[in-house]
Amino acid sequence: MLLADLHIHSNFSDGRLSIPQLVDLYGQQGFDVIAITDHLCDRSSFLGLAANYLGKTLTAQNFSEYQEVLAEQIERARRMYNMVVLPGIEYTKNSLFNSRSAHILGIGVTQMIDPLLDAYDLANEVKNQNGLTVAAHPVWTRKLEPQTFHLCDRRQEVAQVFDAWEVASGTCFFDEVANSGLPMLANSDLHHPRQIRSWKTLLECKKNTPDILNSIRQQKIKFTFFEGLDVSRISNNLGESLLLSYI
């Protein structure tokens, strides 16, 4: 089975590490599949505007650069680590009200989709690119932080356009998703290297993009808890900055 983490952030949005550092981090820890899913924020809200102002989101201006870096690192990951890196976006619709907030992972997408779209229409646009649609942390995360309940509140309406719902985010496992009958996926939502200690997904498939996406759609998966970063396995080419970030 393939060890996968399909919700990871780089410094193109609010992550600590660059995309090359993430490739090395996961490659040297023996992962088979990862997805880089940086935030693309809805600019219609105060929080979206703030993310744009602070440089914590992808924008129309840097989207092409993001895709170019991803393309380079997809090839490097394959060559150096025999690891599949999938391009992705976390479409981020933040509100001051938890019931209006939604985060949607589009995995396998490379073309711009406007995050201003309604959640249902946005997910359909991802599917039009043959991408995987995932409802990110759709229930209470067990943390004192803004929550994203909009998709769960609309689950009867939107379930048909989502391939999976996160049953775990980081170290938290969501029993309400596990018992819902909805298709599932477990990820780290990594922003910082130490967050690699988290729930992960095991995929029962061959190591290529179509089979990986189909294994999730068909729920040929299991879940496992990855205990954490083995610093001894990190080679010097990651540089002192990664170790300092981890500490």
Could you state, in order of their start, the residue ranges of all structural domains in the chain? Answer: 2-246
pLDDT for residue 230: 74
Q: Name the residue type at position 121.
A: D
52-59 long-range Cβ contacts below 8 angstroms, 24+ apart:
56/13, 56/14, 57/13, 57/14, 57/92, 58/12, 58/13, 58/89
pLDDT digits (tens, 9 = 90+) for 147-174: 999 999 999 999 999 999 999 999 999 9
Q: Name the residue type at position 72.
A: E
pLDDT for residue 237: 61
Q: What is the average per-residue pLDDT within 115-124? A: 98
Q: Which residue has the tokens 């909009």?
A: 150
Whether residue 240 is predicted with pLDDT greater than 70 in this model: the reply is no
Whether residue 236 is predicted with pLDDT greater than 80 in this model: the reply is no
> Which architecture characterizes domain 2-246 according to CATH?
Alpha-Beta Barrel (3.20)
Whether residue 63 is predicted with pLDDT greater than 80 in this model: the reply is yes
- Give the helix ranges, DSSP H, for the chain: 19-28, 46-54, 63-81, 119-128, 150-153, 155-158, 175-178, 209-217, 239-246
Which one, of 191, 140, 194, lies nearest residue 168 by Cα? 140
Q: Name the residue type at position 193.
A: P
Q: In degrees rounded to 5, what are phi and psi of residue 65? A: -60, -45
pLDDT for residue 122: 98
pLDDT for residue 86: 98
Distance CA 204, CA 69 (A): 29
- How much is the pTM? 0.94
Distance CA 3, CA 63 (A): 28
Whether residue 231 is predicted with pLDDT greater than 80 in this model: the reply is no
pLDDT for residue 228: 82
Whether residue 241 is predicted with pLDDT greater than 60 in this model: the reply is no
Whether residue 232 is predicted with pLDDT greater than 80 in this model: the reply is no
- Beta carbons of 164 and 218 less than 8 angstroms apart: no
More confident residue, 243 or 156: 156
Residue 229's pLDDT band, with cuts at 50, 70 and 90, is confident
- Beta carbons of 26 and 9 less than 8 angstroms apart: no
**Lowest-pLDDT range of 42-46, 54-58, 110-114, 160-164:** 42-46
Q: Is the dihedral of CA 126, 25, 68, 206 positive or negative?
A: negative
pLDDT for residue 201: 98
**Lowest-pLDDT range of 44-53, 116-125, 189-198:** 44-53
pLDDT digits (tens, 9 = 90+) for 183-221: 999 999 999 999 999 999 999 999 999 999 999 999 999
